[in-house]
Amino acid sequence: MPNEILYTSVNAQTKLLCLLGNPISHSFSPPVMNALISIYNLNFCYLAFAPNDLKKAIEGLKEINFLGANITIPFKEKILPLCDSINQFVEEIKAINTIWFDGEKLRGYNTDIDGIRSALTDYIDQIGSYAVFGAGGAARALCVALKNKNGILVNRTEAKGKKLAEEFGLEYISLTDSPKIVPDIDLIVNATPVGMAGQTVSTIVPTSWIKKCTFVFDMVYNPSVTKLVEQAIEYHKNVISGVKMFLSQAAKAFSTWTSLEPDLEIMRSIWREITN
Ligand SMILES: NC(=O)c1ccc[n+]([C@@H]2O[C@H](COP(=O)([O-])OP(=O)(O)OC[C@H]3O[C@@H](n4cnc5c(N)ncnc54)[C@H](OP(=O)(O)O)[C@@H]3O)[C@@H](O)[C@H]2O)c1
């Protein structure tokens, strides 16, 4: 018995979208995007691929008329030189998570920053200072979103941490030194994979830091309640969810390809359905 949805809706006119990354098996993007496609009754299909050679993969997608793709680790930076145009944030963040094949042109976007802004929107006026753990693409997107606020950057690898901290005028503290100090900051952000399902270390944020701050934002969204979130709840802090960031960046990517703008309620109902 064929899958009913595919059997009734996929045909020679179906527009194709996908995720490119490696690994991709853990990703929630295919079910979320296909749920949106179904809600809006579009003749689209969203798949996932883990190519070895990104350039060849992009050429292949272009040749067979893909409409667009999401880009994840390890290709977020590598995709940059392959694009013909980039949006205003990509230049600052230096990473792309969404591409659109606009005729002959490949256009690159970063919707993580939209996700971050949406996640922080209710609190942004109350955040004077922040501490970010991590110095990768997600940390960089956060620094762009919180530009001109004071902050601290904590990272495992000193050279990478210092470089990003310097670029955004932040104080650098090494991960090993972090438990020795208790900074007076409003918001703590985990922009590392620590806490994700399958990781051996459950949190790297010192408890003393959590006790002192007001807001805790864990970008990890699987599980939705991480060890860091558990601790933040225990100390009665305002928790900002990685799920909200994930759903908002996905909604923005979908809108890049379709011009439709799913609201957060639609995204949340999809999430509930998928995670139940
Ligand atoms: N909610 C969302 O929509 C969303 C979107 C994007 C990302 N994220 C989350 O953000 C995380 C980071 O993404 P990214 O794109 O910035 O990744 P990335 O570019 O690979 O950077 C990862 C950062 O985490 C640090 N790190 C990795 N493992 C660590 C460990 N065991 N202990 C301490 N530090 C560690 C790395 O430190 P070194 O410099 O020392 O290697 C690096 O600074 C992802 O894993 C994901 O959980 C969430």
Residue pLDDT, tens place only, 193-221: 999 987 777 999 999 999 999 999 999 99
| Domain regions of the chain by residue span | 4-110, 114-241
Nearest CA to ligand 1 atom 45: 193
Q: Which CATH superfamily is domain 4-110 in?
A: Leucine Dehydrogenase, chain A, domain 1 (3.40.50.10860)
> Is it true that 4-110 and 114-241 share their CATH fold?
yes
Task: Provide the pLDDT for residue 149.
Answer: 95
Judging by DSSP bridges, how do beta strands 68-71 and 98-102 pair with one another? antiparallel
Write the burial class of residue 266 (CB in 10 Å: 0-12 exposed, 13-18 middle, 19+ buried): middle
Ligand 1 centre to CA of 228 (Å) is: 15
**Ligand 1 pocket test: which of 28, 142, 156, 252 has the largest number of ligand atoms within 8 Å of its C-beta?**
156
Mean local confidence (pLDDT), 244-253:
98
Q: How many alpha carbons lie under 13 Å from residue 5 in its C-beta half-sphere? A: 11
Tell whether the model's pLDDT for residue 134 goes beyond 90.
yes
* Atom nearest to 195 CA in ligand 1: 47
Q: List, chain by chain if needed, residues with CB within 6 Å of any ligand 1 atom.
A: 73, 112, 115, 134-139, 155-157, 160, 175, 191-194, 196, 201, 204, 219-221, 242, 245-246, 249
Indicate if the pLDDT at residue 109 is higher than 80. yes
| pLDDT for res 200 | 75
Q: Active-site residue 56, yes or no? A: no
Is the predicted pLDDT of residue 130 greater than 60, yes or no? yes
pLDDT exceeding 90 applies to what percent of the chain? Answer: 90
The verdict on pTM exceeding 0.85 is yes
The mean-pLDDT minimum among 128-132, 186-190, 201-205 falls in 201-205
Residues 178-197, mean pLDDT to the nearest whole number: 95
Alpha carbon distances (Å) from 255 to 119, 160, 258: 18, 33, 5
pLDDT mean over 241-245: 96
* CA-72 nearest atom, ligand 1: 15
CATH level 2 (architecture), domain 114-241: 3-Layer(aba) Sandwich (3.40)
